[in-house]
Structure 1
Amino acid sequence: MKKKWVITTATGLFLTAGIGFASAAVINGTPALGFKFSNNGQAVSISETPVNIDGHLYVPVRALSEAAGKYVDYDAFSQGVALTDKPTLIGKYALKDPNLAEGIKMGVGSSLTHLPGDPDNVFYTTADRGPNGQIEVNGKTVRTFPLADYTPTIYKIEIADGTINIIDQFPLKVDGVDPVTNKANITGLPNIKGRDEAPYDAKGETELAYDPYGLDIEGLAYNAQDDTFWISDEYGPSIAHVKRDGTLIERIVPQGWASQVETPLVPARETLPAVYNKLRQNRGAEAVGITQDGKYMFMAMQNALRNPDKTMDNSRQVRIIKFDLSTLKPIAEFVYQLEDASQFKDLVQGDIVVSDLVVVNDHTLLIDERDKFSGDKAQLKRIYAVDLTNATNVLGKYDDDKAAGKTLEQMTVADLKANSIKPVSKRTVLDSVEFKFPYEKIEGVTLTNGDTLTIVNDNDFGVDSTTEENGTELWQFKLPYTLK
């Protein structure tokens, strides 16, 4: 019996001797039943039935590649298909430290980085702004900080024998006195009243003080050229420059930010474009990374900006910005397009976020993209290799609707194509859902030796957790190739 096949560049790529492309062609073929497939001598099954067309066996690229243990990614902008070998899980490690207080777990994992020269099992990480949650008080949802004096801290950790061990820690501090703590150590409290989320005590009854130096740490990068860290912060959004001992040096902020708060101990460099003031609260500067030569720094937002307003919470466009570290000024900005939520179950677009990045070189990044679910409900927990080579530099071009009638965040795929805007290309290097990683928030990612990928989750200190097992785990994977 003849069978009609519709072949398009998006969904109908087939293998013969190579990869054949067609543009919306309809052809007749006979289902090729009974064929057996193997990969490295092991039998595999494929999700689609092959078809015989004029004596040639055609098999969908995705079906055959996935059966052979490869990830398959399609780029609609470049009309390209990327096949990538899957990694191997080589280790699991859990944090065993005691709780910080009753009902509040110890946690690390909102970031992760490995320093050159350190042993392969030693990393640096952070928690975020400290234990916080949301409760309803008198019909109003408020943000609570049950440990308001918590100090955001850089932790040096070692993994061994299935355990994450904290071997040193560096509380963040100013060279002087923080006005909230009355000592050098800062807090994780918001910076600006009326702009940031209002902080409340554990009962949600008393509004707490705002800390102009407070940080909500989400990403951590190391610059070997001057032996310092850079931290991406959700409040500003900002990127804070920090000495190895935890002392804050300076802070990159959006234009117009510094006029709203005084920070004489930590100079605010207004080199982020003003459009970054339009962040969605608690969805700010999520990830940061630095090239090995210390020349460039990349920062990625967690979600789309509210540009022009909060209707953009379901935009797929996330901004990645590139800085010249010698001047602290941005030199490029790229579009990272989040996965389309419509292909998943019970997800709206705003539920998909960027959670970390790793700089491989000046044109290749690893991006951590995830959904809001954990356990069996998780559908999207992927690390992508991102290529900036052919991506369009949109710095300063689509920050308002005057350029093309729409802001960058308002644009659809068709709008991007119409304006010749190419997002960065993506290919999967890890799909942790396939490995059944149990937690929602993979927020720390790093790469060692070009072929060992390490991930760790942020447990949010167990606040508002629905499971007693919400701990911190670090998993390692060996890539079957080298990224460099």
Structure 2
Amino acid sequence: MKRKSVLAGLSAILLASAAFQASASAAGQEKAATVADQVHFSLNGSSVSPAVPPVNVDGSLYLPVRAFGQVLKKYVDWDAATQSVLLTDKPELIGKYELKAPDLAPGIKMSVGSSLTHLPGDPDNVFYSTADRGPNGEVVVDGETRRTFPLVSYTPSIYKIQVDKGEIKILETIPLKVKGVDPVSKTANITGLPNVASRDEKPYDKEAKTLLSYDPYGLDIEGIAYNAKDDTFWISEEYGPSIVQVKRDGTILQRIVPQGMKALLDSPEVPLVETIPAAYLTRRQNRGMEAVGITSDGKWMFAAMQSPLRNPDKKTDNSRALRILKFDLSTLKPVAEYAYITEDASQFKDLVQADIVISDLVAVNENTLLIDERDKNAGDKAQLKRIYLTDLSRATNILGKYDDAKATGKTLEQFSVAELTQQGIRSPQKRTVLDAVEFGFPFEKIEGISLVNGNILSFVNDNDFGVAGDTGAGNGTLLWQFKLPYTIK
């Protein structure tokens, strides 16, 4: 990314401050510091106010770097591993688009937005997206919380969409299907129902009274990526967790699953490729493989978990370490795994660590990802809706090293951030490129992100069909676009 000349000036100020502090310490002298709260600041002729006032030390003004970045309208991040201050110019909001599709059924909204990707060669305003497994909710019956599927006929699908004149238009619907017959739908089309009784939720009808059938081909789809090398989509999903390869017509070709899943799942119509580490079988329900991205050369695929694995148990739900896998697409085998560290919930108000998640990613290149990290709040309660430029180049490859507590004392999820550092595990570096809270985005689930031409960043929310969560019945689907004042390559 390009750095503007003002950053050089800021660096000089920081260096001068450091030099002053060092020389003062060396001389064993204490300099008199006075809060200079009457100093006025302006940026391009407009008055601005720093978050904290500057300090006057013997006639020189000093301002904390985060406050200085705020005055200059820049994001400021701190990377402890490299002792680096990272400053990034803020983007410009250039477009707002809303889905105005008819409801699927009474009380059930049309839904896209679990993912977003742009195909090379398509117009800049055309994307592909998914919803998830279909409308579903939770109903308490006799003290038992039951997962309901009020529209069992819904087929998880890929949607080709266009944004134009303030509207999200659905150009094409591509239902996911097997080559033969799905045992539940009795057609080629799959369902969004869970796979196996031994590890998935029990699916009920909309009244929460009748138990529905499990579907070995059912998918709770989330992320989507495109491989131009063979003209196929790859879709991440939560049940496995797994990643499925799909033809442009929606036919499922194969499914990458955790080791040991073949023994649990009878899937003759879809070959299972057991290359995901077995530890991923401990995924928390509804917090599976949330994001997937493929590099433009078709060599590498990245997939991220929404939340920590329950490895070895649910006590790790508040871990800050989320796993990202890197696959060699020529072999479908992972070649690296990284410990992505989410933001510390304690720096926010009334935010639980387990409610900070990864929702999508874009694979910019072999070592660079855009990561969508968010909380589970909406509207005025939202505090964390950020897209980070994430550098993997110096991150530690932990593939196969911290999956079993018996072998290493603790699993990855059991380590605190300080303990990870003590183990020599370096997490990917994060730089803020967009903070949606600052722009007042109203909805909770920003779940699809896309980068076009290196400088047009789009995101879209998932409205959960308007039937679940605090995103509720009044929730719509919005796609917002931003222009970055630099190019990401």
Equivalent in the alignment of 1:476: 481
Q: 1:425 to 1:19 in 2, by over 3 A?
A: farther
Equivalent in the alignment of 1:289: 293
SS in 1 for 2:418: helix
Equivalent in the alignment of 1:7: none
Using the TM superposition, give the Cα deviation of residue 80 of structure 1 relative to its aligned residue in structure 2, in angstroms: 1.2
C-alpha separation between the residues in 2 aligned to 1:159 and 1:166? 9
Match of 2:13 among 12, 16, 23: 16
Equivalent in the alignment of 2:447: 443
TM-score by length of 1: 0.95
Equivalent in the alignment of 2:239: 235
C-alpha separation between the residues in 2 aligned to 1:298 and 1:97? 32
Equivalent in the alignment of 2:6: none
Alignment check: 8 A CA contact 1:16 1:57 kept: no
SS in 2 for 1:453: strand
What code does the residue aligned with 1:16 have?
Answer: I
Alignment check: 8 A CA contact 1:14 1:58 kept: no
Match of 1:58 among 55, 62, 69: 62
Match of 1:157 among 136, 161, 164: 161
Give a deviation string over 1:137-179, Cα, whole Å, max 9, x none. Answer: 1110010000112100000001111011101111000001111
Equivalent in the alignment of 1:45: 49
Alignment check: 8 A CA contact 1:279 1:304 kept: yes
Alignment check: 8 A CA contact 1:15 1:59 kept: no
C-alpha separation between the residues in 2 aligned to 1:278 and 1:78? 33
Alignment check: 8 A CA contact 1:14 1:59 kept: no
What code does the residue aligned with 2:224 have?
Answer: L
> Which is further off, 271-280 or 71-80?
71-80
C-alpha separation between the residues in 2 aligned to 1:160 and 1:31? 51
Alignment check: 8 A CA contact 1:366 1:384 kept: yes
What code does the residue aligned with 2:192 have?
Answer: G
Q: Does 2:411 match 1:407?
A: yes
Alignment check: 8 A CA contact 2:32 2:58 kept: no
Match of 2:457 among 433, 442, 453: 453
1:37-436 equivalences under 5 Å are 37-436=41-440
SS in 2 for 1:93: strand
Using the TM superposition, give the Cα deviation of residue 63 of structure 1 relative to its aligned residue in structure 2, in angstroms: 0.3
Q: 1:27 to 1:428 in 2, by over 3 A?
A: farther
Using the TM superposition, give the Cα deviation of residue 38 of structure 1 relative to its aligned residue in structure 2, in angstroms: 1.9
Alignment check: 8 A CA contact 1:15 1:61 kept: no
Query: Aligned pair count?
Result: 472
Using the TM superposition, give the Cα deviation of residue 58 of structure 1 relative to its aligned residue in structure 2, in angstroms: 1.1
What code does the residue aligned with 2:173 have?
Answer: Q
C-alpha separation between the residues in 1 aligned to 2:477 and 2:386? 18
C-alpha separation between the residues in 2 aligned to 1:199 and 1:282? 13
Alignment check: 8 A CA contact 2:308 2:413 kept: yes
What code does the residue aligned with 1:364 have?
Answer: T
Using the TM superposition, give the Cα deviation of residue 468 of structure 1 relative to its aligned residue in structure 2, in angstroms: 4.4
SS in 1 for 2:405: coil
Alignment check: 8 A CA contact 1:14 1:20 kept: no
Equivalent in the alignment of 1:3: none
Higher strand share: 1
RMSD: 1.7
TM-score by length of 2: 0.94
Q: 1:359 to 1:472 in 2, by over 3 A?
A: same
C-alpha separation between the residues in 1 aligned to 2:183 and 2:16? 64
SS in 1 for 2:465: helix
Using the TM superposition, give the Cα deviation of residue 28 of structure 1 relative to its aligned residue in structure 2, in angstroms: 4.2
Alignment check: 8 A CA contact 2:320 2:417 kept: no
SS in 2 for 1:111: coil
Alignment check: 8 A CA contact 1:16 1:56 kept: no
C-alpha separation between the residues in 2 aligned to 1:14 and 1:32? 21
SS in 2 for 1:427: strand
